[in-house]
Structure 1
């Protein structure tokens, strides 16, 4: 039997599109919002067109910035290649896009079609960890893979399995470097895939019979469900104002982060940060979890600029930040359903407290605008336009930001894949156009990790930025402790 094909698939109850409580709470999704089950796992999927928003992200692919989401799933024990192949063959490919390919990449009408040559050998690999091993070796592997575009000959995703990884947080075991093209889905959609594939939630009968996991506290913009509808007139007026604001927004300051993109990427990530401590700091200082994390990013970038001998007073460093626009009844679907807001990080503020205060003010202000919906409408439009118009719009907006910053809520409980506990969960967001910096924040099992992805021409060692983030959060925690004293 060809071991690359799932010739025998154990029959299981059809997947219910009912995520665990923590993800429903983050999205505002009710307990049951779709009654119809998914097709049987190995039914041949039907072709369908790539949606305009997905097409917009597909078209942003370029040699300097592959539109690939890269992630690490680290385990506290060993995971064999056979177990990983079983996991993928029985669980992951139940989601149609993972066994379909795109026909017509680069054309105006691409579509998803079944991959007649689907084989796990095209997607699942076992590789050696680069020297010196451990977290450093894993970062080197992630950096190398992050710099390599995915092939569109098959469905654009790969898993790379490595072993004997010391994760640097007291756990060790195997790890998977996951690569998924943005055309398959955004962060919320891919988190939904993970949750429906792990041991705890794969079996629909167990899903009904087990107590559900507690909600993960998160005010991540990407996790937020759209706000209740305003009047049509108010929304139209707000949309016009937001569009005008976006078009007249000046280009971002010409810092070290605005020196152009290159094909070579590097990745790093922080040690775990206590989610409860982040929450307590936010409450004590009048902000929310996301405000604390955004202001920590501002402080980290300020520290880095000063270390590089660059000015910070009067400097604007904007981050393009995703905001969810996915309707509640479509929360389970793959694809991309988010807009963007451009948030100026207060790198000119001298103290951590002031940076948090200004960050909160700016985040509160942007939440009252129609900017996410306007940008999503722009993405829908350029997904249909000729390529020259698409490039013009992307070039226009990429000048307004120095990086991409995204915050995705992850599971609060410890999850398992084929019996192996997931102790590390991290991802890196791709950048578009000439943007060369990405900051990704993910919560998991009571802790937060921050990932840095940067071009080597902009940031020689992204671990320096990761440490700066840890130092900045430490400064906020110290300020919180002194206020409580």
Structure 2
């Protein structure tokens, strides 16, 4: 995971006040031990175990204001931001300093007055811990004296973390026992497929696949995004009686299918199955509120920073359907099946066990082949439910992406206020027409919404 980074593009609703932002970054990040630390190897050996070592942070080393061509900015500011974010993939970070940096682009685009691009190494945090950073560092636009209101956390719909309540009666008892039998069976099957994926089971070669079999990522990367209406997604959810995640997975499957079958070079006409690595947060659903409270009380060291993730191998069916809602219904069926499994817990514990028993090379083997033998990464994070400001600068959108995995496609959904931002991290050698794929996401959502309206 050494080369795995997160890139977050943040749109601001005002021009940059660099001194205020710099002071805010220095004040906020100084509270987080991991943002003041570097990774060092025990005994000075590259192959030794890694540990965190605290260092003195000079904020100026982590703030970058690039000199960009004003003619290019005037011609197409959106393209300049996209090109600049893509260029970060080829620029190494100095491992002698904490691996995070802010890039400030002070010119207007179609969605923002100015833009901040945050690049951070994935070892500093996963989606939940970084969203905790956003909540603890930002303030509500409606009332700048208070923290943003916490988003409503999703309810668990299956017995993943707690036992099912036992009801009275013989039939109820049999149902209770059967639920645990199903849980054990699904877990056993899923863990077996996970092990097979790590060892030998590889997705079929398609136009979504990388050009070689190496686990090394491609330096050619683009980060593109579009906004969807959260109300539209909830409308589809209520029409079909499913969850927001079901809608997002179904729409992704529809977009990939739309893109695949339109390209003339794709000769496979029957349905194909592409598998995605889906990271799952293993913290309690109340952890976001708990962590923000700890930070506000001065106990940021007690926050669960870093990565607390399990992994699911999630199939995406690339096929054509006359009814767009079939994609969502199939996604619901797949996710309901995954909820009746402890796959994410076992994959996390197995990876940790191998890392402790056999060292970093064994851990690298598991992660490298898990990513290399699947076709894409899929993730989503719940963001602020109301407009927020960062150091006095109102935020218009948040678009996180990632690079450093061998897959040619990473799909990430993030909610903010009444929108959901779809961010695609794309290998533009595999997807030279990546803007068309982004349009396919928009079209697929539109067709699914129209079909849901017909209900």
After TM superposition, the score normalised by the length of structure 2 is 0.82
Is this contact kept in 1: 2:203–2:275, CA < 8 A?
yes
| Correspondence for 1:338 | 309
Q: What do you get for the CA RMSD once the two structures are aligned?
A: 2.9
Matches within 5 A, 1:200-239: 200=140, 206-207=145-146, 213=149, 215-216=151-152, 227-229=161-163, 239=187
| Correspondence for 2:40 | 103
| Correspondence for 1:424 | 397
Is this contact kept in 2: 1:89–1:120, CA < 8 A?
yes
Q: How far, CA to CA, are the matches of 2:249 and 2:314 in structure 1? A: 9
Deviation at 1:236, TM superposition (A): 6.5
Q: Against the structure 1 CA distance between its residues 227 and 142, is the aligned structure 2 distance closer, same or farther, given a 3 Å change threshold?
A: same
Matches within 5 A, 1:304-319: 304-309=259-264, 310=266, 311=268, 313-319=270-276
Deviation at 1:226, TM superposition (A): 5.3
Q: How far, CA to CA, are the matches of 1:394 and 1:326 in structure 2? A: 21
2:348 pairs with 1:389 = no
2:125 pairs with 1:153 = no
> Gaps spanning 5+ residues in structure 1: where?
1-59
Q: How far, CA to CA, are the matches of 2:447 and 2:387 in structure 1? A: 29
| Correspondence for 1:124 | 63
| Correspondence for 1:26 | none
| Correspondence for 2:26 | 89
2:182 pairs with 1:245 = no
Q: Deviations over 1:271-305 (max 9, x none)?
A: x2110110011110232111111111111111221
| Correspondence for 2:224 | 268
> Gaps spanning 5+ residues in structure 2: where?
165-176, 292-303
Matches within 5 A, 1:23-34: none
Residues 130-139 or 417-426, more deviating: 130-139
Q: Against the structure 1 CA distance between its residues 239 and 289, is the aligned structure 2 distance closer, same or farther, given a 3 Å change threshold?
A: closer
Q: How far, CA to CA, are the matches of 1:93 and 1:226 in structure 2? A: 36
Q: How far, CA to CA, are the matches of 1:226 and 1:152 in structure 2? A: 38
1:94 is paired with a residue of what secondary structure?
Answer: coil
Residue 455 of structure 1 is aligned with which of 405, 427, 430? 427
| Correspondence for 2:136 | 196
Q: How far, CA to CA, are the matches of 2:66 and 2:306 in structure 1? A: 29
Q: How far, CA to CA, are the matches of 2:391 and 2:371 in structure 1? A: 41
Moved over 6 A (4+): 233-237
Deviation at 1:329, TM superposition (A): 7.9
Is this contact kept in 2: 1:68–1:150, CA < 8 A?
no
Deviation at 1:216, TM superposition (A): 4.4
Q: How far, CA to CA, are the matches of 1:147 and 1:363 in structure 2? A: 36
Q: Against the structure 1 CA distance between its residues 404 and 452, is the aligned structure 2 distance closer, same or farther, given a 3 Å change threshold?
A: same
| Correspondence for 1:67 | 4
2:52 is paired with a residue of what secondary structure?
Answer: strand
Residue 322 of structure 1 is aligned with which of 267, 270, 279? 279
1:257 is paired with a residue of what secondary structure?
Answer: coil
Higher helix share: 2
Q: How far, CA to CA, are the matches of 1:389 and 1:177 in structure 2? A: 33
Residue 139 of structure 1 is aligned with which of 82, 102, 125? 82
Q: Deviations over 1:230-274 (max 9, x none)?
A: 79x86776644432232345421211222244212111111x211
Deviation at 1:179, TM superposition (A): 0.6
Is this contact kept in 1: 2:355–2:362, CA < 8 A?
no
Matches within 5 A, 1:358-397: 358-384=330-356, 385-397=358-370
Is this contact kept in 1: 2:8–2:401, CA < 8 A?
yes
Q: Against the structure 1 CA distance between its residues 217 and 106, is the aligned structure 2 distance closer, same or farther, given a 3 Å change threshold?
A: same
Residue 205 of structure 2 is aligned with which of 254, 257, 278? 254
Deviation at 1:67, TM superposition (A): 0.4
Q: Against the structure 1 CA distance between its residues 337 and 215, is the aligned structure 2 distance closer, same or farther, given a 3 Å change threshold?
A: same
| Correspondence for 1:296 | 251
Higher RCO, Cα 8 Å, sep 6+: 2
| Correspondence for 2:167 | none
Residue 357 of structure 1 is aligned with which of 323, 329, 336? 329
| Correspondence for 1:403 | 376
Is this contact kept in 2: 1:316–1:344, CA < 8 A?
yes
| Correspondence for 1:179 | 119
Q: How far, CA to CA, are the matches of 2:286 and 2:229 in structure 1? A: 32
Q: How far, CA to CA, are the matches of 1:150 and 1:461 in structure 2? A: 29
1:293 is paired with a residue of what secondary structure?
Answer: helix
Q: Against the structure 1 CA distance between its residues 374 and 362, is the aligned structure 2 distance closer, same or farther, given a 3 Å change threshold?
A: same
Q: How far, CA to CA, are the matches of 2:140 and 2:207 in structure 1? A: 45
Q: How many correspondences in the alignment?
A: 407
Q: Against the structure 1 CA distance between its residues 111 and 214, is the aligned structure 2 distance closer, same or farther, given a 3 Å change threshold?
A: closer
